[in-house]
Structures are given as structure tokens and as C-alpha cells.
Amino acid sequence: MKHFLDINKTSPAELRQMIDQAGVMKTARGNRPKGMMDDDQPLAGHMVALIFEKPSTRTRVSFDVGVRQMGGQSMVLSGTDLQLGHGETIADTARVLSRYVDLIMLRTFEEDVLLEMADHASVPVINGLTNRTHPCQIMADVMTFEEHRGPIKGKKIVWTGDGNNVCSSFIHAAGQFGFDLTFTGPEPLDPEPGFIAEARAKGANIEIIRDPAQAVEGADLVVADTWVSMHDSQSTKERRHNQLRGYQVDDALMARARPGALFMHCLPAHREDEVTSAVMDGSQSVIFDEAENRLHAQKAILRWCLGV
């Protein structure tokens, strides 16, 4: 059984295998029309359940398209379709779904829901996002960086803003892929200390620098994410804007990074909040390559989980 639950729970060799296979599959598609399936059909005869307790654009479309391109079939289910944990237990839902489908992708709020699903499913489970981590996104980000700048090992990544779930998975990746990561943001929004300690124990240099101008010195990649969630209250949104206003990524901040440094954002972005349009649309931005690579990286993850 191969679950893909978090980057730090998957070996560096297997992560590298997935990144490399994603690149091979992307190249093989070439200029093929979007509606056409891959020549290789490793998911033929497989049914994949895509469960979304939390709304999504990129995760939903990229997983659905990826399954279909590889010859499989997908069933998209919302939280209201299943009402996970309300009435029937998550464990029983996992057991039942395992009788119908070959793999479960779950995008949910609480990590405990994901872990309980994986504990009781007899088919692979993929973490499509929880409040703590977002490993599929970071696999696409590593792939994107290496497409543009070669091996990520030894590079300096700077995360600016909120030490959220995407930041957590970047810290996991630092430990597994061997790059360094600097977090710059206000202390109340620091990443989880346990994640930092684990990555440091694996040899990654993880730093926290409050001054963003100092933090981005020598950066090979600068990453931002939205300051607010769609579920945040108005008061929370106002507080976060006040906390994070000084961490906006603009041309002046990017100019302090290494020449040729890239900019990433997992999207959706709030232009002129966490990042200016000038940076998003500028020559250093690879945000749309990053978004496309969700498709290719996740296809490799699906194949790894199913062993096909």
C-alpha cells in the first residue's frame, strides 16, 4: 500500500522518481491537443475517487484531467455528497469506498480526517490538501524550479508571508530534496516548530528572518501565498493584512534576490496584496508553469501509488 500523505513521509528516492517521471510524461505529451489521452494508458480500468470537502480549482481540474489522460475514470465527490464523519464514521466510509474504487484523493480541512481515511482504506490515499500541509503543490513547485534552473539541491528558497500549509510542505521538501529555506513573516504566523526541527535534523538550513529585504538576499526562488482564506472572517482578514503588509513581494524585493531568481505562487493570488501584478506578470514569474505542473506531478503521484 502506497499512500501519498506528506512529503516527509515519502523517501527522497521515491520523491525523485516521481519528479523525474512527471518530466518524462510532460515531454511525451509535447504539443498534443489538450483533449487527447496519453499514448501510455497506465490507469486504464482504474476508478479514482476525488473527494473535496474544501473547494478547489487547480486540484480538482488537474487530478480529473490527469486521471482521464492516463486512461482512468474519476468520480468527483463534494463534502455535501459524503458528509464525512457525520453519521457514518470516516473509517466506515473508507472501507466502503475501497470496495468501489482503486484510489482515493482527499482534499479536506482537518489532517485527522485524512489520516483516518488512510488508516482504514484498503486502497491508496493521496493528500490533496489539509489545513497543515499541501504536498502535491510542492511536488509541482520542485518540478517547476528544476525545469528552469536545474537541480534544487543546495539552492536557497525564501518563503514570505504566512507559515501556512503550503509553507509546511516546502519545509518538508527542504529536508527531503536538500535545499535551504528561509521564512520571513511575523512571529505569530511562524511555521510549526516541529516541521522546522525535522528538516534541520535532515541537514537542511532552515532560517527565520523577520526583515524581508534581508531574507531574500541570495535567494534562488521567492515564494508567496495568499494572506487570507476564503473561510476567514472579516476581522481575521483585516488583522492579517495589518500583520503582513510589510511582506508584499514587489519589484524592489525581487531585486534583492539573486539575479535570475524565480517567483512562485500556488494561486489563487490576490494581486497587489501578497504580490504585485508587476512581479506576477514579470519575467521572473513562473506561476503558470507551476500551475500546469500540478497536472504532470500528480499524474506521477497517481502512478506511484498504484504501481503502474
Calpha distance 16→139 (Å, rounded): 10
**Residue in 75, 21, 59, 125 with CA at minimum distance from that of residue 295:** 59
Catalytic residue among 176, 225, 265, 305: 225
- Determine which one of 46, 294, 296, 303 is catalytic: 294
| Residue 144 φ/ψ, nearest 5 degrees | -65, -45
What whole-number distance in Å separates Cα of residue 103 and Cα of residue 306? Answer: 8
Q: Is 69 a catalytic residue?
A: no
Active-site annotation holder among 107, 120, 296, 303 = 107
**Distance between CA atoms of residues 280 and 225, nearest Å:** 12
Assess contact for 190 and 239: CB atoms under 8 A. no
Is 86 among the catalytic positions?
A: no
For residues 180 and 174, the answer to whether their CB atoms sit within 8 Å is: yes
- The grid coordinates listed for 102 are 482503486
Residue 58 falls in the annotated catalytic set: no
Q: Is 267 exposed, middle or buried (0-12, 13-18, 19+ CB in 10 A)?
A: middle
Q: Is 83 a catalytic residue?
A: no
The one catalytic residue among 60, 120, 132, 134: 134
Catalytic choice (220, 266, 284, 303): 266
- Number of Cβ within 10 Å of residue 208's Cβ equals 15
Known catalytic membership, residue 176: no
Examine the residue annotation and report whether 167 is marked as an active-site residue of this protein. Answer: no
Residues forming the active site: 107, 134, 137, 225, 266, 294
